[in-house]
């Protein structure tokens, strides 16, 4: 334990001992407890009777296979220097998987907790005896530290979350690049998708009227496209593609509805339900649907059931939950079809128009183009 912790036996913390006990089979750890306790007493580091009793109790639960992950985590945190498993929006990865920022902040937090313990500001026996309320107060202290500037001005919480955001953005960009390449290969085999100027002009005239009047779905379309309804692009192609691309990759949030502060969080407006649906659809879903419609051409069925089927057909892997997935996709694509109808990409019979044949693939490509 001393070698693993990198400090003399006399300086081992309860956390060091707890982690050492958990690193070996529970029955071996139970058998070693008496000798371990004597060695620590001889080293002038006896720890408390409450700690040894708790160690024996948790090891017996583990040996009997009745201990939960939460039981073990709570016991570790009650040592006073084990960081909480989740602090605010930060969930620590396993040690081998931690990013540089996670590793740095995690170790800094341990140092902070050890200083509180050394100064007598943390009482591990009180954490053991106090149960969940005591541990919750201890976790709040950790969250307060995570949100406080360090001597170098950095805030630990944002240091970790900013790094996670950068990693997520990189992963997202890689997925979009792959989907864009695959869609490009499909479209290279679909010639003749010219811009239907008359249909485009009629659709944009209707869209501009909706934006001016405030009728549905002005707010939803504007949020998806990231546009100001009172300052729309003058070019019809630019307007149409911006709004259609926004369905694939929404750019903004919906305006807050009147009385929003008094609403039940579970009572979503129709626009909010649609935005959730659009944000739930994945790159693969859009790729499958766009490829199928591009190959099918004008007149292809584009109702929500058929769109979900396009996704199922595009995926060659068998899925045990296929029916459940189809039902979910049906419910998501309902909103897509409704908005496509407003844009003129599908007609009243929910079949692909010439405008949709040109515009849906072009808009999907635009949504996945890397930002300039």
pLDDT digits (tens, 9 = 90+) for 346-364: 999 999 999 999 999 999 9
CA separation for the pair 275, 268 (Å, rounded): 10
pLDDT value for 318: 42
As given in the structure block, the two tokens for residue 92 are 């620590």
In a domain, 324, yes or no: yes
Query: Which of 159, 174, 205 represents a domain boundary (last residue)?
Result: 159
When mean pLDDT is compared across 152-166, 247-261, 298-312, the lowest value belongs to: 247-261
Total domains present in the chain? 2
In a domain, 175, yes or no: no
In a domain, 359, yes or no: yes
Q: Averaged over 131-147, what is the pLDDT?
A: 95
CB atoms < 10 A from the CB of 249, how many? Answer: 22
Mean pLDDT, all residues of the chain: 92
CA separation for the pair 363, 244 (Å, rounded): 6
Domain that holds residue 135: 2-159
Q: Are residues 220 and 107 in the same domain?
A: no
Q: Is pLDDT of 130 > 80?
A: yes
pLDDT value for 324: 45
Q: Mean pLDDT highest for which of 272-276, 316-320, 325-329?
A: 272-276
Q: Are residues 243 and 359 in the same domain?
A: yes
Q: Are residues 82 and 148 in the same domain?
A: yes
As given in the structure block, the two tokens for residue 75 are 């016991």
CA separation for the pair 56, 65 (Å, rounded): 14
As given in the structure block, the two tokens for residue 322 are 């296929």
> How large a percentage of the chain has pLDDT more than 70?
94
Q: Are residues 226 and 362 in the same domain?
A: yes
As given in the structure block, the two tokens for residue 165 are 């955001």
End-to-end CA distance of the chain: 53
Entry field: residues in the chain: 372
Q: Are residues 11 and 99 in the same domain?
A: yes
CA separation for the pair 109, 102 (Å, rounded): 10
Kindly state the helix (H) or strand (E) to which residue 198 belongs, with its residue range.
helix 197-213
Q: Is pLDDT of 320 > 50?
A: no
Q: Are residues 203 and 145 in the same domain?
A: no
Query: Which of 117, 143, 159 represents a domain boundary (last residue)?
Result: 159
Q: Is pLDDT of 152 > 70?
A: yes
Q: Are residues 155 and 213 in the same domain?
A: no
In a domain, 43, yes or no: yes
Structural contact between residues 254 and 272, judged by C-beta atoms closer than 8 angstroms? yes
pLDDT value for 109: 97
CA separation for the pair 141, 119 (Å, rounded): 15
As given in the structure block, the two tokens for residue 4 are 């693993």
pLDDT value for 169: 83
Query: Which of 141, 159, 177 represents a domain boundary (last residue)?
Result: 159
Q: Are residues 233 and 307 in the same domain?
A: yes
In a domain, 262, yes or no: no
3-state secondary structure of 327: helix
Q: Are residues 327 and 197 in the same domain?
A: yes
Tell me the HSE value of 341 on the side-chain side, using a 13 A CA sphere: 17
User: Which has the higher per-residue pLDDT, 167 or 152?
Assistant: 152
pLDDT value for 325: 63
Q: Are residues 150 and 194 in the same domain?
A: no
In a domain, 185, yes or no: no
CA separation for the pair 83, 145 (Å, rounded): 11
In a domain, 168, yes or no: no
At 187-206, the pLDDT tens digits run 999 988 999 999 999 999 99
Q: Is pLDDT of 17 > 50?
A: yes
CA separation for the pair 272, 224 (Å, rounded): 11
CB atoms < 10 A from the CB of 10, how many? Answer: 11
At 47-58, the pLDDT tens digits run 999 999 999 999
> How large a percentage of the chain has pLDDT more than 90?
86
At 225-237, the pLDDT tens digits run 999 999 999 999 9
């Amino acid at each position: 334990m001393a070698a693993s912790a990198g400090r003399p036996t006399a300086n081992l913390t309860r956390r060091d001992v707890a982690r050492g006990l958990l690193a070996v089979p529970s029955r071996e750890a139970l058998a070693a407890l008496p000798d371990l306790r004597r060695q620590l007493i001889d080293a002038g580091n006896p720890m408390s009777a409450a700690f040894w009793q708790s160690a024996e109790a948790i090891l017996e639960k583990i040996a009997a296979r009745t201990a939960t992950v939460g039981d073990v985590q709570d016991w570790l945190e009650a040592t006073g220097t084990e960081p909480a498993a989740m602090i605010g929006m930060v969930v620590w990865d396993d040690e081998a998987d931690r990013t540089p920022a996670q590793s740095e902040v995690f170790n800094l937090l341990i140092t902070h907790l050890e200083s509180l313990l050394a100064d007598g500001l943390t009482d591990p026996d009180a954490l053991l005896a106090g149960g969940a309320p005591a541990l919750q107060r201890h976790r709040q202290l950790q969250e307060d530290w995570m949100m406080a500037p360090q001597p170098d001005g950095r805030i630990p919480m944002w240091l970790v979350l900013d790094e996670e955001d950068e990693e997520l953005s990189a992963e997202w960009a890689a997925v979009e690049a792959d989907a864009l390449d695959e869609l490009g290969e499909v479209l290279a085999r679909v010639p003749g998708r010219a811009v239907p100027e008359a249909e485009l002009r009629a659709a944009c005239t209707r869209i501009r009227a909706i934006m001016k009047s405030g009728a549905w779905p002005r707010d939803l379309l504007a949020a998806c496209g990231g546009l100001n309804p009172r300052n729309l692009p003058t070019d019809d192609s630019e307007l149409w593609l911006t709004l259609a691309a926004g369905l694939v990759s929404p750019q903004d949030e919906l305006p807050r509805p009147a009385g929003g502060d008094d609403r039940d969080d579970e009572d979503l407006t129709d626009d909010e339900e649609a935005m959730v649906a659009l944000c739930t659809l994945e790159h693969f879903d859009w790729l499958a649907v766009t490829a199928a419609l591009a190959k099918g051409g004008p007149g292809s069925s584009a109702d929500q059931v058929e769109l979900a089927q396009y996704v199922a057909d595009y995926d060659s892997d068998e899925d045990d939950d296929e029916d459940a997935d189809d039902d979910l996709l049906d419910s998501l694509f309902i909103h897509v079809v409704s908005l496509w109808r407003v844009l003129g990409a599908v007609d009243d019979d929910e079949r692909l128009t010439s405008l949709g044949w040109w515009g849906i693939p072009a808009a999907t490509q635009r949504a996945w183009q890397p930002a300039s």
